[in-house]
Amino acid sequence: MDLGTIVGMILTAVLLSGAMAMGVGIGPYIDVPSILIVFGGTTGALLIAFKVEQMKNFVSILKVAFNPPAHNPSDIVKKMVDYSTKARKEGILSLEADADKEENGFLKKGLSMAIDGNEPEIIRDLLETDMDLTDERHKANADIFGKIASFAGAMGMVGTLIGLVAMLLNMADPSAIGPAMAAALLTTMYGAILGNTIGGPVENILLIRNGDEILLKTLIVEGIMSIQAGDNPRTLEAKLLAFIAPSQRVSQFDK
């Protein structure tokens, strides 16, 4: 669970509703038809813009933003150094039991292919194709939130225009103008809030999490290639640690 996302959402919600409460109270800022226009209109535009399968994953994609799959590159490096040491001593076939127990699906797949004796070029091709397509799928998922940012803004503007036109046609009672215009502005406000606390930020964190996953997979591919080539475990570790931020690099051999 990533606390940042939760804390960020709560902080923004508290500040904005506090700002509303300080003035005229939260009540006037809540308008069900306006909410329907912005949220419904954005949903409608998303349904046109994306495939049904992509929209069905909406909730599970959102979950990744809040609760990312735990990837610890240092642990993976440590494990691959162990595999490498074992493979050098007892042969690569000795890793069969380890591959079966391996929890990281991508590492498991790579190890199994190496144990089955596939050509290095084929293993690399296959793992990289898998990795590239995962990357594309994740970016397409993040783009749903990018599009929320732009569609929500547009629907907010459309709602405000609908409200302004209605107001302009009913100016007989001057005292009604203020509230009518206030109501018209609410959709723009909802659009800006939806776009800038959900749309843009969630798109960004999803792209960052994808970057982390792709980096980890690149590291795993290099590791598998090294294990299969029978590289020295120290060389393998040096190669893989280059993928980790300097502050988090810990060598098993320096101890």
Per CB under 8 A, the list member of 69, 91, 211, 230 interacting with a copy of itself is 211
**Burial classification of residue 136, based on how many CB atoms lie within 10 Å of its CB (0-12 exposed, 13-18 middle, 19 or more buried):** exposed
Chain residues 147-206 in contact with a copy of itself, contact rule CB under 8 A:
147, 150-151, 154-155, 157-159, 161-166, 168-171, 175, 178-179, 181-182, 185-186, 188-189, 192-193, 195-197, 200-202, 204-205
Chain residues 221-240 in contact with a copy of itself, contact rule CB under 8 A:
235, 238-239
Q: Between 97 and 172, whose beta carbon lies closer to a copy of itself?
A: 172
* Least Å from the CB of residue 2 to a copy of itself: 7
Asked if 35 touches a copy of itself (CB under 8 A), the answer is no
Q: Between 98 and 162, whose beta carbon lies closer to a copy of itself?
A: 162
From the list 9, 41, 17, the residue with the least C-alpha distance to 201 is 9
The CA R_g of the chain, rounded to the nearest whole Å, is 26
Look-up of token digits 């292919």:
113
Chain residues 68-127 in contact with a copy of itself, contact rule CB under 8 A:
105, 118, 122, 125-126
131: Cα separation from own chain's centroid: 16
Look-up of token digits 């783009």:
143
3-class SS at 70?
A: coil
**Pair 157, 214: CB distance under 8 Å:** no
Q: Between 95 and 194, whose beta carbon lies closer to a copy of itself?
A: 194
* Least Å from the CB of residue 114 to a copy of itself: 14
State both tokens at 245. 């931020």
